[in-house]
Structure 1
Amino acid sequence: MNHEKLSMRLERVAIHIPKGSILADIGSDHAYLPCYAVTNGLCDSAIAGEVVEGPYQSARKQVALTGLGDKIEVRKGDGLEVLKPDEATCITIAGMGGTLISSILESGKAKLGKAERLILQPNVGAANVRSWLIENGWELCGEEILEEDGKIYEILIAKKGDPLRPYGVNKQTGLTFGPFLREQFSDIFIKKWQLEKKHFERIIEQLDESGRSGLETKRNELKSQISVIEEVLKG
């Protein structure tokens, strides 16, 4: 992977960047995404934020190597603290857990005033991100699910709007499964939740084999989650 050829995961993140954006890529690693976005005219300029020294230096080298120093600024800092208020119009955060993404957004809410779009790719815990979006007035306007190198990823796209609009009457199911992903009902979506169901079934087996007492509540919670998955997988 490089700035000319991204991974499939990052390509699908990039495709949702609105033309003319000022992009902030948080946790930018080698800055491949902002370099790709600027090179391909997906945004006018970009900020690559990185908190770890090694990736920060890698991002600086990458921007220098591609000759994009006039369009991309690499900044070191934690989450959205690398931004000035009202600076970026599109924020991308990819390749982290959903809890961490939510924490970054919560800590940096003051920097989101001019942001028109959030493109978020949690490796796990997408429900946490959806919850944060609802609680903070962001409307989920699209979702993708994909498989790459044996891992399944979800991408969430949000804009300012009515945060409950996509969810209909069953918000909890939408938070867990994704309102757009459930409607699309793709083969990868089905595979993801079949794997989750098997994972919960294995945990129940382990609880039963342990012979420990006082595990009935946990067992019932898992059985309830399995029942919900089975219902959703009926289509």
Structure 2
Amino acid sequence: MLTSKRLRAIADYVREGSRLADIGSDHALLPVELVGRGTCPSAVAGEVNDGPLEAARRGIAAAGLASSIEARKGDGLEVLRPGEADTVTIAGMGGALIVSILESGRVGGRLEGVSQLVLQPNVGEELVRAWLLEHGWHLAGETILEEDGKVYELLNALRPAEGQAPNEELYGGEPLLPGLSAEEDRKLKLRMGPYLTRRPSEAFALKWSSELRKLRGIERQLERSDTEEAAARKRELAQVIARIEEVLECMPTDMSSRS
């Protein structure tokens, strides 16, 4: 059984019968869990570094699953053959790196046949949401959780099927805050999560209270510069801070007080 709350939440998103590719698999804990409990009939554990690759192979062998899980060395989705997997998980990387992996896989045809992406960026979640939106992936769900003092966001994306709500509906509709333009509202939902802002939680409040402290720190640093560029950046930052504060103020008192 997985001891990590984060990995358990990722595993819970993976659909029954999926052929899994876990990119950056480290010790292959996720593929071993999902194949071992029968959720996935097969899996590929991809690793770019020799140490984690060998650790993955040892873990797979110890679980007696070498016939169902293959650990492969390669950069991102290069470990896959087109059509080999229908679900891809990528966890524990920065959002920019995840986007780079997905884009390279898209261009190289490695996402052919993939119908589900379960992604857990450590930072830069808005970059991942923007890539999904740009390339027609439907953001079907989000989870935010705290574990060992860190807050994680999980994104579950599906290729749109007939009848599914399009991303335009998800990111459009009623704005998060009164008076926001459609463009401002979309940017805020990409930054904070269209589902997470609808269902605020303690983990959500914890994350954005921390982000506000970081942004205010950057704002104070910018005050030391008298360049026009710094002034423009400070104005932009002040607007972002104000929007985040407004969202937090709409939350229950016991959560928003954390800011």
Task: Give the TM-score normalised by structure 1.
Answer: 0.94
3-state SS, counterpart of residue 28 of structure 1: coil
Aligned length: 230
For the residue of structure 1 that corresponds to 2:112, the secondary structure is coil
Distance 1:56 1:164 in 2: 40
- Superposed, 1:111-126 pairs within 5 Å as 111-126=110-125
SS in 2 for 1:181: coil
The reply to whether residue 135 of structure 1 matches residue 111 of structure 2 is no
The CA deviation string for residues 151-190 of structure 1, in whole angstroms up to 9 with x for no partner, is: 1110000001133332124321110110000001112112
Q: Give distance in 1, aligned partners of 2:65 and 2:167.
A: 36
Structure 2 length-normalised TM = 0.86
Looking at structure 2, the residues matched to 50 and 231 of structure 1 have their Cα atoms a distance apart, in angstroms, of 42
Q: Does 1:17 align with 2:30?
A: no
Task: Give, in angstroms, the shift of residue 216 of structure 1.
Answer: 1.0
Give the counterpart letter for 2:114 in structure 1. Answer: A
User: What residue identity is the alignment partner of 2:52?
Assistant: P
- The one of 167, 175, 178 aligned to 1:163: 167
Q: Who is 2:152 aligned against? A: 153
**CA root-mean-square deviation:** 1.2
- 3-state SS, counterpart of residue 121 of structure 1: strand
| Residue 213 in structure 1 maps to residue 226 in structure 2 | yes
Structure 1 alignment gaps of length 5 or more = none
- In 1, Cα distance between equivalents of 2:167 and 2:81: 25
Q: What is residue 43 of structure 1 aligned with on the other side?
A: 40
Equivalence for 2:58? 61
Distance 2:83 2:72 in 1: 16
User: Would you say the 8 A contact 1:139–1:164 is kept in 2?
Assistant: no
Asked whether the equivalents of residues 126 and 191 of structure 2 are also in contact (C-alpha less than 8 Å), the reply is yes
Contact 2:222 2:231 in 1 (8 A): no
Specify which of 2, 11, 18 is matched with residue 5 of structure 1. 2
Gaps of 5+ in 2: 161-165, 174-184, 251-259
Question: What are the Cα deviations for residues 178-211 of structure 1, in whole angstroms up to 9, with x where unaligned?
Answer: 0000001112112211211121112222333x3x
Per the TM alignment, residue 6 of structure 1 is displaced from its structure 2 partner at its CA by 3.3
Correspondence 1:102 to 2:99: yes
Whichever structure has more strand as a proportion of its residues is 1
Residue 238 of structure 2 corresponds to residue 223 of structure 1: yes
Whether the aligned pair in 2 keeps the contact of 1:6 and 1:33 (CA below 8 Å) is: no
Percentage of matched positions with identical amino acids = 49
Moved more, 157-166 or 110-119: 157-166
